[in-house]
Amino acid sequence: MDVADLRPIALFDGVSDDQLAELLDDGAEVRFGRGDVIFREGEHADFWWVLVDGSLTLTRRLGDEDAVVGRMAMPGVWSGGFRAWDQQGVYLATGCGEEPGRLLQVPAEALGRRLRAWLPLGVHLINGIFGTARRIEATVRQRDSLVTLGRLSAGLAHELNNPAAAAVRAVAALEETSAALLASLRGLAEHGISAGQFTALDALRLDLGGRPRLRDPVAVADREDALTEWLEEHDVAMAWELAPVLAAAGAEPAWCDQVRDVLGADLQPGLEWVAATLSSTALLGEVRESTRRISELVSAVRSYSQMDRGSRQSTDVTEGLESTLVMLGHKVSEDISVVRDYGDDVPAVDAFPGELNQVWTNLIDNALDAMEGSGTLRISTRLDGDHVVVEVGDSGPGMAPDVEARAFEAFFTTKDVGQGTGLGLDIARRIVVDRHRGQILIHPEPGDNVMEVRLPLTQPQA
C-alpha cells in the first residue's frame, strides 16, 4: 500500500503526501476476507483501522445474540484508535469481513503522536469533546430512559387499573349475590316448591337469556317502572331492587304473569332466585371481561418488549403497532380518533422487532403531542414492491421548515424537559436506516403530517 492508494480517500483531504507517507511508515496494510474478525467489541482500541476497499459488518453482543449495528462499506470509514486520546477507549463493536478488501492499520500510540505533532490544538479539542460528550450523553440517556420507563409504567398502570378495579368490584358484588342466591333457594325449599315448578321456573329464566337487551335508557326506565308497578300490585317485597335486574334481562309484566301461573300467589322466593341468578351471570361476565382485558394488556406488553424472543426474527409490523398503541393508550384522549388502515397483503419482515417498537413509540407519541389532545391519528401499512411501508399521520399543524431541516439531528428536540420518549428521530433514523437498511421520510403537510417508514422484506445475513 502506498500514498497513491490513500490519496483518493476523502478522509485524507488536506493531509500532505509526506504526512500520508509517515502514516504508512507507522502503519501496515491488512488484507481481509469474508468472515475474518478484524477487531473485537470490548477489547482495547489499540489500532486505528481505515477502510481502503471492501466492507465490514459491525456487530454487538445483545443478550445471547450478535446483532448487526452497522457497516463499514465506504473507503475512508474508520474505526478504533480511541486510545490515541483516551486510555480507556475500547472497540464499541466487533468488525468482521463482509466483502474482501484492505485496511490501513495504524497503532493508536503512533496515531496520537502524529496528531499531536500535526494538530496539537485539534488533539486537545478531541480530548475535551470526546470526554464531555460521553459524560453528557450517558447522563441524558440514563435520565431519559428512566423518565420514559416511568411514563410507560404509569400509562400501563392506568390501563390495568380500570379492568382490575372492575374485577374487584364484581367479585365483591358476586359475594353478596351468592349469599342472596342461597337464601332464595332456602326460601323456595321452605315454601315446598315441587320439582315440576322449579323446572318450569328455570325454563322461564332461560327464556330471558335469549331475549334482546334494550339499549335505550328511556325504554329501560319505562320497563323498570312497569315491572315495579306489577310487583307491588302482587305484594312482592323489595320491588325496587328486583325490577332493575329483571328489566335489564328483558323481563316484562307478561313474563311475570307466567311466573305467577307456575308458583301461584307466593312469588317472592322464586323471583328472588331468578334475580340472584341473573345478577350472578352478569357479574361473572364482568369478571370474565375484566380479566380478559388484563390478559390482553399483559400480552401487549410482552409483544412490545419482545420478552422471551430473539432479537432478529420474522416480524409482523401490525402486531408491533397495536402493542405500541396499547402502551400509549393513556395518551389517546376521547377527542382523538384512531384510524387503522392495515393492508391485508402485508407480509412479515425480517427485522429487530424490539427496536422497531421503539420507533413506533416515538412516531406515535410525536403525532399525539402534535395534535394537543384532539384530532385524528392515522396508522397505515401497505406492501410496495419488496418493501413494507408504515405511515403514522396526524391532523396537527405539521412541521415548520426549520424543524423539518433539523429533525434527524442528534439531540435536537422541540419538546420541553420531561416530555417525549427520550428516543429522538435521530435514533429512530439509525434504527430504520442503519439497522434495517430502510428509509424514514417526513411529509409535513398541515392537517396531514405523515412520517413514512420503508422496511425491506429481508435483511442480508451477517
Establish if 47 belongs to a structural domain: yes
Which residue has better confidence, 265 or 345?
345
pLDDT single digits (tens) 70-95 = 899 999 999 988 877 777 778 888 99
Do 260 and 338 belong together in one domain?
no
Lowest mean pLDDT among 1-5, 161-165, 260-264, 450-454: 161-165
Do 256 and 370 belong together in one domain?
no
Do 329 and 441 belong together in one domain?
yes
Establish if 65 belongs to a structural domain: yes
Q: Give me the CATH number covering residue 52.
A: 2.60.120.10
Q: What type of residue is 123?
A: V
Establish if 69 belongs to a structural domain: yes
Domain boundary among the residues 95, 118, 141 is at 118
Establish if 376 belongs to a structural domain: yes
Domain boundary among the residues 292, 326, 358 is at 292
Establish if 348 belongs to a structural domain: yes
Lowest mean pLDDT among 171-180, 184-193, 292-301: 292-301
Do 226 and 344 belong together in one domain?
no
pLDDT single digits (tens) 45-75 = 899 999 999 999 999 876 667 888 889 999 9
Do 336 and 430 belong together in one domain?
yes
Domain boundary among the residues 259, 292, 325 is at 292
Q: Give me the CATH number covering residue 385.
A: 3.30.565.10
CA distance 328 to 336: 13
Establish if 441 belongs to a structural domain: yes
- Residue 145 has what pLDDT? 54
pTM, 2 dp:
0.47
Would you say 392 and 359 are in contact if contact means Cβ atoms under 8 Å apart?
A: no
- The pLDDT of residue 421 is above 50: no
Do 278 and 317 belong together in one domain?
no
And the C-alpha cell for 274? Answer: 331468578
Do 288 and 384 belong together in one domain?
no
Do 180 and 283 belong together in one domain?
yes
**201: nearest Cα among 190, 213, 185, 212:** 185
Establish if 148 belongs to a structural domain: no
Could you tell me the pLDDT band of residue 308, with boundaries at 50, 70 and 90?
very low
Q: What residues have CB less than 8 Å from 362, skipping those under 6 apart?
A: 421, 423, 424, 425, 427, 428
Do 172 and 85 belong together in one domain?
no
Do 450 and 319 belong together in one domain?
yes
Do 376 and 451 belong together in one domain?
yes
Residue range(s) defining the domain that contains residue 189:
162-292
- Residue 131 has what pLDDT? 61
Give me the residue label for grid cell 445483545.
62
- Residue 208 has what pLDDT? 85
And the C-alpha cell for 424? Answer: 429522538
Q: What residues have CB less than 8 Å from 214, skipping those under 6 apart?
A: 220, 223, 247, 250
- The pLDDT of residue 199 is above 50: yes
Would you say 65 and 310 are in contact if contact means Cβ atoms under 8 Å apart?
A: yes
Would you say 377 and 338 are in contact if contact means Cβ atoms under 8 Å apart?
A: yes
Do 413 and 280 belong together in one domain?
no
Share of the chain above pLDDT 70, in %: 84
In Å, how far are 174, 257, 281, 301 from 287, measured between CA atoms?
A: 10, 33, 10, 21
Could you tell me the pLDDT band of residue 238, with boundaries at 50, 70 and 90?
confident
Would you say 354 and 306 are in contact if contact means Cβ atoms under 8 Å apart?
A: yes
Among 116-125, 272-281, 394-403, top mean pLDDT goes to 272-281
Would you say 364 and 324 are in contact if contact means Cβ atoms under 8 Å apart?
A: yes
Which residue has better confidence, 24 or 403?
24
Establish if 217 belongs to a structural domain: yes
Q: How many domains does one find in the chain?
A: 3
Compute the CA torsion angle 253, 255, 261, 266 (nearest 10 deg): -70
